[in-house]
Protein backbone atom coordinates (compact mmCIF):
# COMPACT_ATOMS: atom_id res chain seq x y z
CA UNK A 1 0.00 0.00 0.00
CA UNK A 2 2.79 2.42 0.93
CA UNK A 3 4.57 1.60 -2.33
CA UNK A 4 1.37 2.39 -4.28
CA UNK A 5 1.07 5.77 -2.55
CA UNK A 6 4.75 6.47 -3.23
CA UNK A 7 4.36 5.73 -6.97
CA UNK A 8 1.17 7.82 -7.12
CA UNK A 9 2.98 10.80 -5.61
CA UNK A 10 5.85 10.43 -8.10
CA UNK A 11 3.40 10.17 -11.03
CA UNK A 12 1.40 13.19 -9.88
CA UNK A 13 4.57 15.24 -9.30
CA UNK A 14 5.86 14.30 -12.76
CA UNK A 15 2.60 15.40 -14.41
CA UNK A 16 2.66 18.71 -12.53
CA UNK A 17 6.31 19.25 -13.50
CA UNK A 18 5.56 18.58 -17.18
CA UNK A 19 2.56 20.93 -17.10
CA UNK A 20 4.68 23.62 -15.47
CA UNK A 21 7.41 23.12 -18.07
CA UNK A 22 4.84 23.22 -20.88
CA UNK A 23 3.42 26.52 -19.61
CA UNK A 24 6.92 28.04 -19.36
CA UNK A 25 7.80 26.92 -22.91
CA UNK A 26 4.43 28.10 -24.28
CA UNK A 27 4.76 31.50 -22.64
CA UNK A 28 8.34 31.84 -23.86
CA UNK A 29 7.30 31.04 -27.44
CA UNK A 30 4.47 33.59 -27.22
CA UNK A 31 6.86 36.22 -25.88
CA UNK A 32 9.38 35.58 -28.67
CA UNK A 33 6.60 35.71 -31.28
CA UNK A 34 5.31 39.02 -29.88
CA UNK A 35 8.80 40.54 -29.95
CA UNK A 36 9.38 39.28 -33.49
CA UNK A 37 6.03 40.69 -34.64
CA UNK A 38 6.77 44.01 -32.97
CA UNK A 39 10.12 44.19 -34.76
CA UNK A 40 8.50 43.33 -38.10
CA UNK A 41 5.76 45.93 -37.56
CA UNK A 42 8.25 48.77 -37.11
CA UNK A 43 9.94 47.72 -40.32
CA UNK A 44 6.90 46.75 -42.41
CA UNK A 45 4.03 49.09 -41.55
CA UNK A 46 5.47 52.14 -43.39
CA UNK A 47 6.28 49.87 -46.34
CA UNK A 48 2.83 48.27 -46.33
CA UNK A 49 1.10 51.65 -46.04
CA UNK A 50 3.09 52.79 -49.05
CA UNK A 51 1.91 49.75 -51.04
CA UNK A 52 -1.71 50.30 -49.98
CA UNK A 53 -1.57 53.99 -50.89
CA UNK A 54 -0.20 53.08 -54.33
CA UNK A 55 -3.05 50.59 -54.77
CA UNK A 56 -5.59 53.27 -53.81
CA UNK A 57 -4.01 56.03 -55.92
CA UNK A 58 -3.56 53.89 -59.04
CA UNK A 59 -7.06 52.45 -59.03
CA UNK A 60 -5.90 49.52 -61.17
CA UNK A 61 -4.11 46.55 -59.65
CA UNK A 62 -2.19 45.75 -62.83
CA UNK A 63 -0.69 49.24 -63.13
CA UNK A 64 0.70 49.45 -59.59
CA UNK A 65 4.37 50.37 -59.43
CA UNK A 66 5.52 48.16 -56.55
CA UNK A 67 8.30 45.67 -55.91
CA UNK A 68 6.36 42.44 -56.51
CA UNK A 69 9.25 40.25 -55.38
CA UNK A 70 9.35 42.12 -52.10
CA UNK A 71 5.59 41.76 -51.71
CA UNK A 72 5.76 38.01 -52.35
CA UNK A 73 8.54 37.74 -49.77
CA UNK A 74 6.30 39.46 -47.23
CA UNK A 75 3.46 37.08 -48.03
CA UNK A 76 5.62 33.96 -47.67
CA UNK A 77 6.20 34.62 -43.97
CA UNK A 78 3.09 34.01 -41.83
CA UNK A 79 3.87 36.78 -39.31
CA UNK A 80 4.57 39.32 -42.06
CA UNK A 81 1.45 38.25 -43.93
CA UNK A 82 -0.60 38.76 -40.76
CA UNK A 83 0.78 42.30 -40.43
CA UNK A 84 -0.16 43.03 -44.05
CA UNK A 85 -3.67 41.65 -43.52
CA UNK A 86 -4.10 43.68 -40.34
CA UNK A 87 -3.18 46.90 -42.15
CA UNK A 88 -5.54 46.14 -45.04
CA UNK A 89 -8.28 45.30 -42.53
CA UNK A 90 -7.62 48.61 -40.77
CA UNK A 91 -8.22 50.56 -43.99
CA UNK A 92 -11.30 48.51 -44.90
CA UNK A 93 -12.77 48.88 -41.41
CA UNK A 94 -12.19 52.58 -40.87
CA UNK A 95 -12.60 54.18 -44.29
CA UNK A 96 -15.27 54.16 -46.96
CA UNK A 97 -15.16 54.77 -50.69
CA UNK A 98 -14.46 53.08 -54.01
CA UNK A 99 -10.90 52.26 -52.97
CA UNK A 100 -12.24 49.46 -50.75
CA UNK A 101 -13.15 47.39 -53.82
CA UNK A 102 -9.64 47.98 -55.18
CA UNK A 103 -8.08 46.75 -51.92
CA UNK A 104 -10.32 43.68 -51.90
CA UNK A 105 -9.28 42.95 -55.50
CA UNK A 106 -5.64 43.35 -54.43
CA UNK A 107 -6.15 40.70 -51.71
CA UNK A 108 -7.68 38.33 -54.25
CA UNK A 109 -5.03 38.87 -56.94
CA UNK A 110 -2.14 38.32 -54.54
CA UNK A 111 -3.72 35.13 -53.14
CA UNK A 112 -4.15 36.56 -49.64
CA UNK A 113 -7.79 35.42 -49.61
CA UNK A 114 -6.85 32.05 -51.11
CA UNK A 115 -4.31 31.39 -48.34
CA UNK A 116 -6.91 32.13 -45.67
CA UNK A 117 -9.37 29.80 -47.40
CA UNK A 118 -6.75 27.03 -47.32
CA UNK A 119 -6.22 27.61 -43.61
CA UNK A 120 -9.99 27.32 -43.11
CA UNK A 121 -9.69 23.56 -43.71
CA UNK A 122 -7.81 23.09 -40.43
CA UNK A 123 -9.31 20.86 -37.73
CA UNK A 124 -8.15 23.27 -35.05
CA UNK A 125 -11.33 24.98 -33.80
CA UNK A 126 -9.54 28.16 -32.68
CA UNK A 127 -7.70 28.55 -36.01
CA UNK A 128 -10.88 27.87 -37.99
CA UNK A 129 -12.77 30.58 -36.07
CA UNK A 130 -9.84 32.97 -36.56
CA UNK A 131 -9.81 32.28 -40.31
CA UNK A 132 -13.52 33.12 -40.50
CA UNK A 133 -12.80 36.38 -38.69
CA UNK A 134 -9.92 37.28 -41.05
CA UNK A 135 -11.96 36.46 -44.16
CA UNK A 136 -14.68 38.78 -42.93
CA UNK A 137 -12.17 41.57 -42.39
CA UNK A 138 -10.87 41.11 -45.96
CA UNK A 139 -14.47 41.29 -47.27
CA UNK A 140 -13.91 39.18 -50.39
CA UNK A 141 -16.99 37.58 -51.95
CA UNK A 142 -14.79 34.63 -52.95
CA UNK A 143 -15.06 33.47 -49.33
CA UNK A 144 -18.88 33.37 -49.24
CA UNK A 145 -19.34 29.71 -50.21
CA UNK A 146 -16.81 28.47 -47.64
CA UNK A 147 -18.17 30.72 -44.90
CA UNK A 148 -21.72 29.49 -45.50
CA UNK A 149 -20.46 25.95 -44.92
CA UNK A 150 -19.01 27.02 -41.55
CA UNK A 151 -22.37 28.42 -40.42
CA UNK A 152 -23.75 24.87 -40.22
CA UNK A 153 -21.02 23.84 -37.75
CA UNK A 154 -22.36 23.55 -34.21
CA UNK A 155 -19.31 25.14 -32.55
CA UNK A 156 -20.29 28.54 -31.20
CA UNK A 157 -17.08 30.50 -31.98
CA UNK A 158 -16.97 29.27 -35.58
CA UNK A 159 -20.66 29.99 -36.17
CA UNK A 160 -20.37 33.49 -34.68
CA UNK A 161 -17.27 34.46 -36.70
CA UNK A 162 -18.68 32.98 -39.92
CA UNK A 163 -21.92 34.97 -39.55
CA UNK A 164 -20.01 38.13 -38.65
CA UNK A 165 -17.74 37.62 -41.68
CA UNK A 166 -20.77 37.34 -43.97
CA UNK A 167 -22.16 40.51 -42.41
CA UNK A 168 -18.95 42.38 -43.23
CA UNK A 169 -18.80 41.03 -46.77
CA UNK A 170 -22.30 42.43 -47.19
CA UNK A 171 -23.77 40.13 -49.84
CA UNK A 172 -27.54 40.33 -49.35
CA UNK A 173 -28.59 36.86 -50.49
CA UNK A 174 -25.78 34.98 -48.74
CA UNK A 175 -26.62 36.75 -45.47
CA UNK A 176 -30.25 35.71 -45.82
CA UNK A 177 -29.15 32.14 -46.65
CA UNK A 178 -26.89 32.07 -43.58
CA UNK A 179 -29.76 32.85 -41.22
CA UNK A 180 -31.93 30.29 -42.99
CA UNK A 181 -29.24 27.71 -42.18
CA UNK A 182 -29.31 28.41 -38.44
CA UNK A 183 -33.06 27.92 -38.04
CA UNK A 184 -33.58 25.43 -35.22
CA UNK A 185 -29.86 25.16 -34.46
CA UNK A 186 -29.08 28.45 -32.74
CA UNK A 187 -26.35 28.31 -30.12
CA UNK A 188 -25.65 32.03 -29.98
CA UNK A 189 -27.32 34.55 -27.69
CA UNK A 190 -29.96 36.93 -28.99
CA UNK A 191 -27.68 39.89 -28.27
CA UNK A 192 -24.81 38.38 -30.30
CA UNK A 193 -27.09 37.70 -33.26
CA UNK A 194 -28.57 41.20 -33.22
CA UNK A 195 -25.05 42.69 -33.10
CA UNK A 196 -24.18 40.63 -36.19
CA UNK A 197 -27.30 41.83 -38.04
CA UNK A 198 -26.66 45.44 -36.96
CA UNK A 199 -23.14 45.24 -38.45
CA UNK A 200 -24.33 44.05 -41.90
CA UNK A 201 -22.62 46.18 -44.59
CA UNK A 202 -24.91 45.41 -47.52
CA UNK A 203 -28.40 46.63 -48.41
CA UNK A 204 -30.00 46.52 -44.97
CA UNK A 205 -33.42 47.66 -46.14
CA UNK A 206 -33.65 44.76 -48.60
CA UNK A 207 -32.52 42.17 -46.04
CA UNK A 208 -34.85 43.51 -43.34
CA UNK A 209 -37.82 43.56 -45.73
CA UNK A 210 -37.25 39.85 -46.45
CA UNK A 211 -36.34 38.64 -42.96
CA UNK A 212 -38.85 40.41 -40.71
CA UNK A 213 -41.47 38.09 -42.22
CA UNK A 214 -39.37 34.94 -41.80
CA UNK A 215 -41.38 31.86 -40.80
CA UNK A 216 -39.13 31.30 -37.79
CA UNK A 217 -40.45 33.57 -35.02
CA UNK A 218 -37.06 33.95 -33.37
CA UNK A 219 -35.25 34.90 -36.60
CA UNK A 220 -38.06 37.29 -37.55
CA UNK A 221 -37.86 38.94 -34.11
CA UNK A 222 -34.10 39.44 -34.41
CA UNK A 223 -34.45 41.33 -37.69
CA UNK A 224 -37.37 43.41 -36.39
CA UNK A 225 -35.28 44.52 -33.39
CA UNK A 226 -32.27 45.23 -35.58
CA UNK A 227 -34.42 47.28 -37.99
CA UNK A 228 -35.41 49.37 -34.98
CA UNK A 229 -31.76 49.79 -33.98
CA UNK A 230 -30.92 50.92 -37.52
CA UNK A 231 -33.92 53.29 -37.63
CA UNK A 232 -35.32 51.82 -40.84
CA UNK A 233 -38.27 54.21 -41.10
CA UNK A 234 -39.41 52.72 -44.42
CA UNK A 235 -40.30 49.52 -42.55
CA UNK A 236 -42.41 51.10 -39.81
CA UNK A 237 -45.72 49.87 -41.22
CA UNK A 238 -44.58 46.26 -41.90
CA UNK A 239 -43.17 46.16 -38.36
CA UNK A 240 -46.26 47.73 -36.77
CA UNK A 241 -48.50 44.92 -38.03
CA UNK A 242 -46.72 42.60 -35.57
CA UNK A 243 -48.17 44.55 -32.62
CA UNK A 244 -51.25 42.37 -33.26
CA UNK A 245 -49.26 39.16 -33.76
CA UNK A 246 -50.14 35.95 -31.92
CA UNK A 247 -46.42 35.54 -31.27
CA UNK A 248 -45.23 37.11 -28.01
CA UNK A 249 -41.67 37.41 -29.40
CA UNK A 250 -42.89 39.34 -32.43
CA UNK A 251 -45.05 41.66 -30.32
CA UNK A 252 -42.07 42.41 -28.07
CA UNK A 253 -39.78 43.02 -31.05
CA UNK A 254 -42.30 45.34 -32.71
CA UNK A 255 -42.68 47.41 -29.53
CA UNK A 256 -38.90 47.74 -29.19
CA UNK A 257 -38.39 48.70 -32.82
CA UNK A 258 -41.21 51.27 -32.89
CA UNK A 259 -40.05 52.67 -29.55
CA UNK A 260 -36.58 53.26 -31.01
CA UNK A 261 -38.08 55.02 -34.03
CA UNK A 262 -40.55 57.01 -31.85
CA UNK A 263 -43.33 56.99 -34.43
CA UNK A 264 -46.31 58.59 -32.67
CA UNK A 265 -48.88 56.95 -34.96
CA UNK A 266 -48.72 53.75 -32.93
CA UNK A 267 -48.87 55.14 -29.37
CA UNK A 268 -52.48 54.00 -28.94
CA UNK A 269 -51.69 50.49 -30.17
CA UNK A 270 -48.70 50.23 -27.83
CA UNK A 271 -50.76 51.55 -24.91
CA UNK A 272 -53.40 48.88 -25.64
CA UNK A 273 -50.67 46.30 -25.04
CA UNK A 274 -50.55 47.42 -21.39
CA UNK A 275 -53.41 44.91 -21.04
CA UNK A 276 -51.63 42.10 -22.91
CA UNK A 277 -51.84 38.60 -21.40
CA UNK A 278 -48.02 38.40 -21.26
CA UNK A 279 -46.40 40.39 -18.45
CA UNK A 280 -43.22 40.81 -20.55
CA UNK A 281 -45.25 42.58 -23.23
CA UNK A 282 -47.04 44.74 -20.63
CA UNK A 283 -43.72 45.68 -18.98
CA UNK A 284 -42.08 46.60 -22.28
CA UNK A 285 -45.10 48.61 -23.42
CA UNK A 286 -45.01 50.56 -20.15
CA UNK A 287 -41.29 51.25 -20.53
CA UNK A 288 -41.58 52.25 -24.20
CA UNK A 289 -44.43 54.72 -23.64
CA UNK A 290 -42.08 56.75 -21.45
CA UNK A 291 -40.00 57.51 -24.54
CA UNK A 292 -42.81 59.55 -26.09
CA UNK A 293 -43.93 62.99 -24.91
CA UNK A 294 -47.67 62.29 -24.99
CA UNK A 295 -49.13 62.98 -21.53
CA UNK A 296 -52.51 61.57 -22.63
CA UNK A 297 -51.24 58.06 -21.93
CA UNK A 298 -50.47 58.79 -18.26
CA UNK A 299 -53.94 57.69 -16.97
CA UNK A 300 -53.43 54.28 -18.61
CA UNK A 301 -50.00 54.00 -16.99
CA UNK A 302 -51.47 54.92 -13.60
CA UNK A 303 -53.90 52.00 -13.93
CA UNK A 304 -50.89 49.67 -14.37
CA UNK A 305 -49.33 50.81 -11.07
CA UNK A 306 -51.49 48.08 -9.52
CA UNK A 307 -50.53 45.36 -12.00
CA UNK A 308 -49.84 41.96 -10.43
CA UNK A 309 -46.32 41.95 -11.91
CA UNK A 310 -43.64 44.13 -10.28
CA UNK A 311 -41.82 44.95 -13.54
CA UNK A 312 -45.03 46.27 -15.10
CA UNK A 313 -45.69 48.46 -12.05
CA UNK A 314 -42.11 49.74 -11.92
CA UNK A 315 -41.83 50.53 -15.65
CA UNK A 316 -45.18 52.30 -15.52
CA UNK A 317 -43.99 54.40 -12.57
CA UNK A 318 -40.75 55.39 -14.31
CA UNK A 319 -42.62 56.35 -17.48
CA UNK A 320 -45.12 58.43 -15.49
CA UNK A 321 -42.27 60.32 -13.83
CA UNK A 322 -40.68 61.00 -17.23
CA UNK A 323 -43.93 62.33 -18.70
CA UNK A 324 -45.44 64.09 -15.68
CA UNK A 325 -43.04 67.03 -15.38
CA UNK A 326 -45.38 69.01 -13.12
CA UNK A 327 -45.97 65.90 -10.94
CA UNK A 328 -49.72 66.59 -10.94
CA UNK A 329 -50.51 62.91 -11.55
CA UNK A 330 -48.11 61.88 -8.78
CA UNK A 331 -50.14 64.18 -6.47
CA UNK A 332 -53.29 62.28 -7.43
CA UNK A 333 -51.64 58.93 -6.71
CA UNK A 334 -50.71 60.01 -3.17
CA UNK A 335 -54.13 61.54 -2.59
CA UNK A 336 -55.66 58.16 -3.41
CA UNK A 337 -55.77 54.88 -1.49
CA UNK A 338 -53.75 52.52 -3.71
CA UNK A 339 -50.75 51.37 -1.67
CA UNK A 340 -49.27 49.41 -4.60
CA UNK A 341 -49.25 52.59 -6.69
CA UNK A 342 -47.70 54.70 -3.93
CA UNK A 343 -45.00 52.14 -3.09
CA UNK A 344 -43.87 51.71 -6.67
CA UNK A 345 -43.87 55.48 -7.34
CA UNK A 346 -41.65 56.01 -4.29
CA UNK A 347 -39.33 53.21 -5.45
CA UNK A 348 -39.06 54.74 -8.94
CA UNK A 349 -38.51 58.23 -7.53
CA UNK A 350 -35.66 56.99 -5.34
CA UNK A 351 -34.03 55.13 -8.25
CA UNK A 352 -34.30 58.13 -10.58
CA UNK A 353 -33.23 60.63 -7.88
CA UNK A 354 -36.48 62.58 -8.18
CA UNK A 355 -36.96 62.85 -4.43
CA UNK A 356 -34.53 65.79 -4.51
CA UNK A 357 -37.07 67.67 -6.68
CA UNK A 358 -39.59 67.49 -3.86
CA UNK A 359 -37.72 67.96 -0.59
CA UNK A 360 -34.25 68.31 0.91
CA UNK A 361 -34.14 66.10 4.00
CA UNK A 362 -30.80 67.43 5.26
CA UNK A 363 -32.00 71.04 5.38
CA UNK A 364 -35.65 70.13 6.01
CA UNK A 365 -36.61 72.16 2.94
CA UNK A 366 -39.66 71.42 0.74
CA UNK A 367 -39.69 72.28 -2.99
CA UNK A 368 -43.21 70.93 -3.51
CA UNK A 369 -44.70 71.25 -0.07
CA UNK A 370 -48.04 69.54 -0.62
CA UNK A 371 -46.54 66.48 -2.33
CA UNK A 372 -43.63 66.36 0.10
CA UNK A 373 -46.02 66.23 3.06
CA UNK A 374 -48.11 63.51 1.42
CA UNK A 375 -45.05 61.34 0.69
CA UNK A 376 -43.42 61.98 4.07
CA UNK A 377 -46.61 61.15 5.97
CA UNK A 378 -47.04 57.97 3.93
CA UNK A 379 -43.46 56.84 4.62
CA UNK A 380 -43.52 57.86 8.31
CA UNK A 381 -46.77 55.96 8.85
CA UNK A 382 -45.31 52.73 7.46
CA UNK A 383 -47.21 52.75 4.20
CA UNK A 384 -50.48 54.14 5.53
CA UNK A 385 -51.88 57.52 4.50
CA UNK A 386 -52.44 59.65 7.57
CA UNK A 387 -56.06 60.49 6.87
CA UNK A 388 -57.05 56.98 5.79
Tell me, letter by letter, the H, E, C secondary structure of 65-88. CCCHHHHHHHHHCHHHHHHHHHHH
Structural domain contains residue 325: yes
Average pLDDT of span 245-252: 95
pTM for this one? 0.81
Structural domain contains residue 279: no
Q: Is 110 left (phi over 0), alpha (psi -120 to 50) or beta?
A: alpha
Please write the tens of the pLDDT for every residue from 41-77: 777 788 788 877 877 777 666 656 666 777 777 777 7
Structural domain contains residue 80: no
Counting the structural domains of the chain, the total is 1
Structural domain contains residue 305: yes
Q: What are phi and psi of 307, to 5 degrees?
A: -60, 150
Where is 161: in which H helix or E strand? helix 156-169
Closest CA to 139 of 203, 172, 93: 93
Please write the tens of the pLDDT for every residue from 188-231: 889 999 999 999 999 999 999 999 999 999 999 999 999 999 99
Structural domain contains residue 360: yes
Range of the domain at 362: 298-388
Structural domain contains residue 194: no
Please write the tens of the pLDDT for every residue from 256-272: 999 999 888 999 999 99
* CB atoms near residue 102 (< 10 Å): 18
Amino acid sequence: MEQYIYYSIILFSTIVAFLYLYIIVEKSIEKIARKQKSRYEKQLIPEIDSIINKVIDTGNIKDIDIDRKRLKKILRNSIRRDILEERISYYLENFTGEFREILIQFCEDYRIVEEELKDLNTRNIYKKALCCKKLGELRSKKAIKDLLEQVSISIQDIKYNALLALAKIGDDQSFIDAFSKINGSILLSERSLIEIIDSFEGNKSFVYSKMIDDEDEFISSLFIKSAGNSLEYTLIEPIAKYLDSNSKERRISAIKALGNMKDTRYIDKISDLLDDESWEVRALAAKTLGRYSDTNIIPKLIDKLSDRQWFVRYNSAVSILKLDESLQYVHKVFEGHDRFAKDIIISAMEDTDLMSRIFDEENNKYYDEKLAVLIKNYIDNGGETKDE
